[in-house]
A = this chain, B = another copy of it.
Amino acid sequence: MDFQLTHALEVLERTPAAFRALLAGLPEAWTAPNEGPDTFSAFDNVGHLIHGERADWIPRARIILAQGPDRRFEPYDRFAQYRESEGKGLADLLDDFARLRSENLATLRSWRLGEPELALEGEHPAFGPVTLRQLLAAWVAHDLGHVAQTARVLAKQYRDAVGPWRAYLPVLDR
């Protein structure tokens, strides 16, 4: 499927509601456990997406669009949410994510991007040159990856409880 901005927006605007539908009101018995050291709980996943709204996708798009002499992105802190989510509840995080995403999509729409802008390049600290089109596609796939990761970490809490069904439920061993 080729990248189209309208398609990307269709997913990006749904993600906060998908997290809310899946997680709002769930007790910590579900939302606090992770998949092992340096992995994310359901709660961590939402905090990670919030950090992305603040520090990653739109700030990187701005660097590309500015086409200044230094187009290198700041390295991304995958574990910022351990610090930034401290003292917050999941309901706060779901609200923060929805608000920040809505603001960011308003910004994105306001740019009225066309083919010439989507082809502009920035410099990823690990990969080198990347286009705005690739950045926006990665934003979409990253959202969906964290929906999948969140469902998986929840499912894994029942890895033992399902007994022999574990053989039929590959999500429990990913």
Q: Provide the A50-93 mask, 1 if CB < 8 A to any CB of B, else 0.
A: 00000000000000000000000000000000000000000000
Number of A residues, CB within 8 Å of B: 57
Please state the number of chain copies in the assembly: 2
Chain B CB count within 10 A is highest, among A7, A23, A162, for A162
Q: Provide the A116-129 mask, 1 if CB < 8 A to any CB of B, else 0.
A: 00000000101110
Given A14-B22, A127-B164, A165-B134, CB of A148 within 8 Å of CB of B152? yes
Given A18-B22, A21-B21, A30-B11, CB of A127 within 8 Å of CB of B167? yes
Q: Is the interface of A mostly helix, strand, loop or mixed?
A: helix
Q: Is A163 located at the chain interface by the 8 A CB criterion?
A: yes
CB distance from A104 to the nearest CB of B (A): 18
A-side residues, CB < 8 A to B, are 1-3, 7, 10-11, 14, 17-18, 20-23, 25-27, 29-30, 33, 124, 126-128, 130-131, 133-135, 137-138, 140-142, 144-145, 147-149, 151-152, 154-155, 157-159, 161-165, 167-172, 174
